[in-house]
Amino acid sequence: LKPDGTFFIVEPAFHVSKKSFEETVNRAEAIGFSQVKRPGMILSRAVVLKK
């Protein structure tokens, strides 16, 4: 990922539990990513991260 690059994660809500998705976000934050926003997407869980 380039400096100041963004990383967009989208998972289907019916396939990935909220707990599992939050664990993924927490791991990303633990290695230096920060949340930019949580876009609303129908039937999906999504987050935009920045390093």
pTM of the model: 0.87
Query: Does the structure show a pLDDT above 90 at 20?
Result: yes
Average pLDDT over residues 3-14: 94
CB 46 within 8 A of CB 8: yes
| Dihedral angle over CA of 13, 41, 19, 35, nearest 10 | 150
pLDDT at 1 over 90: no
Q: State the residue range of the domain holding 33.
A: 6-50
Residue 37 within any structural domain of the chain:
yes
- Angle at the Cα of 36 from the Cα atoms of 46 and 25, rounded to 5 degrees: 50
> Structure tokens of 24?
């993924």
Q: Where does the pLDDT of residue 22 fall: very low under 50, low under 70, confident under 90, or very high at 90 and above? A: very high
- With respect to residue 1, please indicate whether it lies within any of the assigned structural domains: no
pLDDT at 9: 97
Q: How many domains are there within the chain?
A: 1
Instruction: Check whether 18 has a pLDDT greater than 90.
Output: yes
- Which of 6, 5, 2 lies closest to 47, judged by CA? 6
C-alpha 27/C-alpha 25 separation (Å) is 5
